[in-house]
Structures are given as C-alpha cells and as structure tokens.
C-alpha cells in the first residue's frame, strides 16, 4: 500500500503520507533500543542484535506503511530484513499515522481504524514473517561502498542493500495551541481527514497559497459549509488553472495578507482560528471553524543522506524505476521520494464516460504506453459524469479527451482518438 493512500506524506514513510517523524515533542524517548522479536515462521530462529561482524542482506530504514510493507515482502522472501524503525513523538515508531486518530481510507477497514492500531498491525505482521526490528533512529549512513554501513543511536550494522523509508514531516505553524488541537481540529492532510464526521457541515480553514492549499480548499467544499483560505502574501502562488478554480468557487473565501496567530477551542475540540495581518499588524479577528488544515507542504527526512545520495532541490531523494536511487543497491520508498504522486513526471489525464465507446479503445493504448515509458509518465482517468466539476474546470466538453500536465501546468489538450504511434509522439515531445 502506498503511503499516499493514508494520512500524510504520510507520507511516512506521505507516504500513505512511512511518513516521518513528527515535530510534536512530548515524552522523552527511552534509551534502550534493541528488543528481540518473535521467531520467523519460516526458519524458527529467534532474532539477534545487529552486529558489524555480520553483513545483512537487507536493512530497511524507517517505519510506517512504506517501511513495514517493504519489511513484510522482504521477510516473506526469506531476506530476514533488519528494520531501523526510528522514533515518532512520544517514543514510538510508525510514522505520521501515529498522530492520526482515525484512518477512514485504508482498504480492508470499512469501519475505520486508528493510526496507531493500523501501525501496530503492520508491525506485528512484519515481525510474524521474521523482520527484526531495532527501535532507534539512524544518525548516519556510509554509502561509499558495499557493504553499506548504518549507524544508529546505539548500534551499527552493515548490509548489501538498503531500502530507505524515512518519509516526510508535515510542516507546522508552531502556534501556541498547536499540540493541544492536533488531530482534534488541526490536520496536515485534508484528503486524509476532511471526510471525518468532525468536519462535516462545519466551517473550515486552510492555510497556504500554493497548489496544495488550493486543492485542499476545493476538496473540503464537499464536506464543509464554507472554506476560508488564508494566504500570507498578496496573491496566490498556485498555478493559473487552480487560481481560476478557486475564484469560481462560491463556498471558498480567500483572505490575503493574513496569518494564523493561534486557534481557540474548549480544550477538547477546536472552535475558531484567530488571525492577524501577515506583518503582525492589522485587526485581530476570530474565524469560527471546526477545522484548520495546513497546506504548507512537507519536509523530507533526508538530512542524514546529504552528500550520500542525489537529492532534488526540495531535499527529496531522486529515484528511477523501482525506487532505485543514485547509488546501486540503495532504494527509496514512500514520501521520502514520492513528494507529489499526482504530479510526478508527465501526467496524462483521460476524461471519459461510461457511455463513451471510443474511451474503451484509448484507455488500453495509454496503459501500454505508460508501461513503455517505465515510470516517466503517470496516467489518471476521470469520469466526467462522476466528477463533472473537475471536467468543467478543465474545459472538457467531450469524451475522450486527453490532457497532459507538467510541473502543474497543462501542456496539451487533445480531444478525440489517435493511433498509438501518435500518442507516443505526443508523450516524447512533452517529456
């Protein structure tokens, strides 16, 4: 399962946002780091502490959906992976889901499940198949030559291969009451939490001025009575298409030159967002709201990889096919590299309808081309009957219609059906 499918991201590792170490500091973490795990059902041997005398076949750095999923698959393949879980706020592994009260969109849990419970199940499943868990942070790695060296808080280990899944941490505002109302009205993922009963038919607030914030504001109009978008600057930084969408949204109000001073509540749930001018001046006001959503981005947990792996300008790990990094034998999973899966590389969007016969011809052609270009192209299909607002905002009036997006800007609008070689040429000209 992807970290993106669950609260960010989550990573991490989204990420299902897996995803990272929270910045919310609570109890001091324990120093004892090694706890023997149960025996693997495949070999009957108990776990043993990591040692530099032994070269592991695989070390996984990070927990959460990406890290634990990698551990489960590796353990079932008899690789006996060693997993450095890392710490979450309060001294427990599991990524950003450890700070999520309810997960409503993870397959297999129709009634929902708490983030900590979901991570506990994943952890137990990894242990059951023989993954060996070390509950400590990794402070540094040496990727100069195989075997690679991993230095934890209290242990050091070596391995022929690494999977790094340390995720990305949601950026926070640092307001005084943030920790009090985190997951009790404050969220860093509208897609993950917006459908919660807590926010339905309630006024909501989103902070941010980029595409992420605008996307979250538009998404929340499905559930909230009204959405207030708070922008520190005098204009939005979102793409032109996104700005047009929010300008046409009757249930979204954009407040420019505004920042959040703090939130208000009854000690249990958030009831309002207190704002002032972006420069600290201006009249203070309180916007009644049940939810405050951060659309200000994430910070990848990649500091310990600087100078070791190729990172992009935002600090995310650059990867190729299969999550391969710039160092052979080292792979990245989850939000550590998947910073924005919807906009990774070239994105093809096919607008279709159930009654559209030509759409059934186009879709398999595009799927084959996606495979042909090996991770350089992503494919999304939108049903214009189910998502008529999206189609209307995109200027789509007939099916099939194909649009290409690159760096969040539309670079192609192509209605009708073409031959496979013509679609291939269009992709090549836009990569």
pLDDT tens-digit profile of 258-312? 999 999 999 999 999 999 998 877 788 999 999 999 999 888 899 999 999 999 8
Backbone angles phi, psi at 335, to 5 degrees: -70, -10
Whole-angstrom distance, CA of residue 2 vs CA of residue 88 = 19
Nearest to 175 by CA among 88, 292, 9: 292
Nearest to 166 by CA among 99, 74, 93: 93
Looking at domain 178-296, its CATH architecture is 3-Layer(bba) Sandwich (3.50)
Whole-angstrom distance, CA of residue 200 vs CA of residue 17 = 22
Which residues pair with residue 157 across a beta bridge?
Answer: 150
Contact 62, 146 (CB under 8 A): no
Contact 159, 82 (CB under 8 A): yes
Q: What pLDDT digit, counting tens, does each position of 240-254 carry?
A: 878 888 999 999 999
Q: What is 294-323 written as a DSSP string? A: E-S-EEES-GGGTTTS-B-TTSPBP--GGG
**Domain boundary assignment for the chain:** 3-169+299-336, 178-296, 345-430
What's residue 100's pLDDT? 54
pTM: 0.60
Q: What is the overall mean pLDDT for the chain? A: 82
Asked which of 21-35, 68-82, 301-315, 368-382 is least confident by mean pLDDT, the reply is: 21-35
Nearest to 253 by CA among 295, 296, 287, 222: 287
Known active-site residue 359: yes
What's residue 14's pLDDT? 34
Percent of the chain's residues with pLDDT above 90: 52
Could you say which of 3.50.50.60, 1.20.1630.10, 3.40.30.10, 3.40.190.80 is the CATH number of the domain covering 345-430? 3.40.30.10
Tokens for 127, please give them: 């242990």
Write down the catalytic residue from 359, 362, 384, 391. Answer: 359
- 3-169+299-336: what CATH class? alpha beta
How wide is the angle at C-alpha 59 spanned by C-alphas 128 and 71, nearest 5°?
A: 30
Write down the catalytic residue from 75, 141, 356, 426. Answer: 356
**CA–centroid distance for 15 within its chain:** 4
Do domains 178-296 and 345-430 share one topology? The answer is: no
What mean pLDDT is predicted for residues 73-96?
A: 76
Residue indicated by tokens 């989103």: 206
Residue indicated by tokens 């950026």: 171
């Amino acid at each position: 399962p992807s970290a993106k499918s669950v609260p960010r991201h989550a990573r991490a590792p989204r990420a299902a946002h897996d995803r990272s170490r929270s910045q919310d500091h609570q109890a001091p973490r324990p120093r004892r780091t090694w706890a023997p795990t149960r025996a693997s059902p495949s070999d009957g041997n108990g776990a043993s502490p990591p040692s530099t005398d032994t070269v592991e076949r695989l070390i996984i750095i990070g927990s959460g959906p990406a890290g634990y999923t990698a551990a489960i698959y590796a353990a079932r393949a008899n690789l006996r992976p060693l997993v450095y879980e890392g710490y979450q706020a309060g001294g427990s592994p599991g990524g950003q889901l450890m700070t999520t009260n309810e997960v409503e969109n993870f397959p297999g849990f129709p009634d929902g499940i708490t983030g900590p419970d979901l991570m506990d199940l994943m952890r137990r499943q990894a242990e059951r198949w023989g993954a060996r868990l070390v509950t400590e942070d990794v402070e540094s790695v040496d990727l100069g030559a195989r075997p690679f060296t991993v230095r934890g808080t209290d242990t050091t280990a070596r391995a022929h291969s690494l999977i790094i899944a340390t995720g990305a941490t949601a950026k926070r505002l640092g307001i005084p009451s943030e920790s009090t109302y985190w997951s009790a009205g404050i969220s860093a993922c509208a897609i993950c939490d917006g459908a919660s009963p807590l926010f339905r038919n309630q006024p909501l607030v989103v902070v941010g001025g980029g595409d992420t914030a605008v996307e979250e504001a538009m998404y929340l109009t499905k559930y909230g009575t009204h959405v207030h978008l708070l922008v520190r600057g005098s204009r939005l930084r979102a793409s032109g298409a996104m700005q047009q969408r929010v300008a046409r949204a009757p249930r979204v109000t954009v407040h420019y030159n505004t920042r959040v001073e703090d939130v208000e509540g009854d000690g249990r749930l958030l009831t309002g967002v207190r704002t002032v001018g972006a420069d600290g001046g201006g009249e203070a006001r309180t916007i009644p709201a049940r939810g405050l959503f951060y659309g200000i981005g994430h910070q990848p947990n990649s500091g310990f990889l600087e100078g070791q792996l190729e990172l992009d300008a935002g600090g995310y790990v650059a990867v190729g096919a299969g999550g391969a990094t710039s160092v052979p034998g080292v792979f990245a999973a989850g939000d550590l590299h998947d910073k924005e899966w919807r906009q990774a590389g070239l994105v093809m969007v096919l607008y279709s309808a159930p009654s559209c016969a030509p759409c059934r011809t186009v879709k398999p052609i595009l799927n084959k081309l996606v495979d042909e270009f090996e991770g350089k192209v992503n494919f999304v299909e939108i049903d214009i009957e189910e998502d008529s607002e999206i189609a209307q905002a995109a200027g789509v009036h007939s099916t099939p219609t194909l649009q290409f997006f690159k760096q969040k800007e539309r670079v192609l609008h192509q209605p009708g059906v073409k031959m496979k070689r013509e679609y291939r040429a269009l992709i090549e000209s836009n990569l």
